[in-house]
Amino acid sequence: MTQRKPTYEQLEARLAEFEEITTVLRNGEADAVIGKSDVLLLRLRKVEQKLRESEKKFRFAMEATNDALWDWNIETNQTYRNPRHATMLGYEPHELNASQDEWDKRIHPDDKRLLLELVDEHLTGKRDFFTHEYRLRTKSGDYIWVLGRGKIVEYSDDGAPVRMIGTNIDITERKKTENSRELVTRILQYSSELGEWISIIRKVLKSIQEYSELEVAALRLREGDDYPYFVQYGFSDEFVQAENYLCERNKAGDIVRDYAGNPVLDCMCGNIIRGRTDPKLPFFTQGGSFWSNCTTELLANTTEKERQSRTRNRCNGEGYESVALIPIRAGVEIIGLLQLNDRRKNCFSLELIRLFEGIAMSIGSALERRKALEEVLALSKFPSENPSPILRIAEDGEILYSNKAGLELLAHWNAKIGEKAPEKWRCLIKKMLESAKPGLQEEEEEEVKDKIFSVVILPVVESGYVNLYARDITERRKAEAEARDAQQELIEQQRHEKENVEAELAKLRDELVKTTRLAAIGQVSASIAHDLRNPLGSVRNASYFLRRRLSKDEPKASEHLKIIDQEVARADQIITNLLEMARPKASHKQVVDLAEIVEQVFGQAKGIEGVRCRTSLVPDPFMVKTDPNQLRQAISNIMSNAVHAMKGHGEFLVEATRDSDYDTLVFQDTGPGFDPEVRDRLFEPLITTKASGTGLGLTICRQIVEKHDGTIHAEDCKGGGAVIRIRLPRQ
């Protein structure tokens, strides 16, 4: 057993005790030495007790925490992992092997080399500890991001690392947030540029496509009465030519208009641009977007009325299953849409759609600012007539000019023409003129009493001054704040609803699969059972008459007939089990003593000569309301499996505990435990690990337990052996 290295303080204390004993020996005080030894032994026992308690507390803390903790014995390569590791990856605690090899298989191939290098550097003393962000494969095959940390906590006497402990924390949401924030920051940066608008949109769409890994990213913008594709990546030329325009036209080629004179726009794109959406339907959002992860199913399961209009279905015809259409708004007006397509299913989530809605809002705001700037520049030729503030400020901060509307801004600054602008504006103006970049502009917001102004600063470098063009955006900011608050509230509400629905759906889906399979097997089994029982009866009768006719000097034939009888009995039991599974009997509940039931079953069991049955019941007697025959059958099936697993030698333990709502029955044996490959399917029909087993015993147990509104599951015992745990609601 590897010993921990004592600390410096512990070594000093031991040295002092040794010197004390040596002094006593020199003085010939043998009794004192013996007394001192007793004291040392007592201290040693106390230290060992404290170590055991400390280890127990440590294990309890590992079980209780919400972090994924691990404890690695480097010498044996054995690893303990608390249950959070399994649940973090989508497993039940008993489903996941905690071995180091199993964990290594789950590390993303692109992350494994660096992670192993960091661990090795720590093991060789080059690092005090290791920490790294990497990806792990979940039960569904997807990957999550974790932050892994570890540190050596124990060394051998020769200084070799013996034990390392650490944590793995799920940071997937944080990584998603970081990537989303990076995307939004990049798009905001592009949107503030003064270059050609088409080149800016190209960079925006390319960033969206790279982030989402989708086949198609396209943007429609208003052009006259229609909304053609302004920029697109991923569509074929044939698709763009066929779908470029949305306006419906008559036979003469003229645009069809509605009663209000607006052009009639076709397809789902037209719905989004016209705002024809219903957020009560799952494929529309509160933000006015459309999304589908399978357009084939959507078209098959919805009507044109639900989809708000007739759709061309060209996206689906081209094989695009995942489609998202996001409105682009300038203020409250929809001026275009962002379109994202992919031939794969299930490319979108509600969170991703909300991210794209935010990006579309940024694109719309950038378009609105550009339009406003163009209007301001047009009016700047006649500044005195402009209803919005226009100022001119020199490089040193002197205010050179203000139109009448700008006097409100000057009053807020407590300045006049010929005086200096506030320091904030002087620094900004000086910086812009010094950079001397052509086409450079800045936009700042200024609060003036109860108004908010958006101030665009355009430098005139060669003349050494800047022009300031301000617009009142108070109402727009209020509307945006209200929309953000409403959207955030909706996000939280839908996130909670989604989590609850997903958990319930997963549970129901699993139960539906098991129930459907069980019902199908039961129906087939019932018909087969009747067809088999008649010929079995004939075989049994034939064996009986043959035995009567045999003489005593034919032992070999008699032995063969005995085998026939045994196999007929076994086949008959299988048929009985099949019929019980296909047509389970109704429960007739009464209060029974669990200990008596166990004693009866054990007394009737076969091959138990070397098996000891023990009960631990709290309270005792343990009275439970159940169908005694069905409970007896369930315990008999469990006990039979246990006796077979222990090969007729070992201990079968029955434990029962009670809380305010449930009775918990635990059946434990000292056999080899369950095969991990079949443990999670033990209660399904025809699943068995025994050469002569039918695979129906535990299925019938499950039927009986579920008929009592309870649950049953299998797990391995930490100290070895198998455990079947049943929970029954108290009645």
Q: How close are the terminal C-alpha atoms of the chain, in Å?
A: 51
Q: Domains plus CATH for the chain?
A: 8-172 (3.30.450.20), 176-368 (3.30.450.40), 380-472 (3.30.450.20), 478-580 (1.10.287), 586-729 (3.30.565.10)
Weakest mean pLDDT among 242-251, 583-592, 717-726: 583-592
Of the chain, the percentage scoring pLDDT greater than 70 comes to 79
Give the mean model confidence (pLDDT) for residues 437-460: 81
For residue range 55-66, list pLDDT tens digits in order.
Answer: 554 454 445 456
Give the mean model confidence (pLDDT) for residues 1-19: 50
For residue range 351-362, list pLDDT tens digits in order.
Answer: 899 999 988 988
Q: What pLDDT score was predicted for residue 692?
A: 58
Tokens 């953000």 found at: 484
Weakest mean pLDDT among 23-37, 157-171, 569-583: 23-37
Give the mean model confidence (pLDDT) for residues 699-722: 85
Q: What pLDDT score was predicted for residue 57?
A: 47
Which of 322-326, 432-436, 696-700 is most confident? Answer: 322-326
Distance CA 515, CA 523 (A): 12
Distance CA 15, CA 477 (A): 76
Q: Which of 292, 384, 393, 408 is nearest to 346 (CA)?
A: 292
Q: What pLDDT score was predicted for residue 289?
A: 94
Residue 208 burial (10 A CB sphere; 0-12, 13-18, 19+): buried
Output the six-digit token pair for 423. Answer: 């320091």
Output the six-digit token pair for 466. Answer: 């800047």
Q: What pLDDT score was predicted for residue 157?
A: 82
Q: What pLDDT score was predicted for residue 317?
A: 87
Residue 466 burial (10 A CB sphere; 0-12, 13-18, 19+): buried
CB-CB neighbours of 498 under 10 Å: 13
pLDDT(233) > 90: yes
Coil, helix or strand for 577?
helix
Output the six-digit token pair for 443. Answer: 């936009």
Q: What pLDDT score was predicted for residue 108?
A: 93
Is residue 226 within 8 Å of 247, Cβ to Cβ? yes
Q: Which of 270, 441, 458, 448 is nearest to 366 (CA)?
A: 441
For residue range 518-528, list pLDDT tens digits in order.
Answer: 555 666 666 66
For residue range 138-159, list pLDDT tens digits in order.
Answer: 998 888 999 999 999 888 888 8
Give the mean model confidence (pLDDT) for residues 25-34: 48
Which of 43-52, 219-228, 508-517, 543-552 is most confident? Answer: 219-228
pTM value > 0.85 = no
Summary mean pLDDT of the chain: 80
Q: In whole angstroms, how far apart are CA 223 and each of 191, 297, 335, 363, 474?
A: 20, 33, 9, 16, 29
Q: Which of 114, 81, 125 is nearest to 99 (CA)?
A: 81
Is residue 74 within 8 Å of 163, Cβ to Cβ? yes
pLDDT(576) > 80: no
Beta strand 722-729 pairing with 78-81: unpaired
* 114 Ramachandran zone, left/alpha/beta (phi>0; psi -120 to 50): alpha
Quick one: pLDDT band at residue 463, thresholds 50, 70, 90? confident
Q: Which of 83, 78, 67 is nearest to 148 (CA)?
A: 67
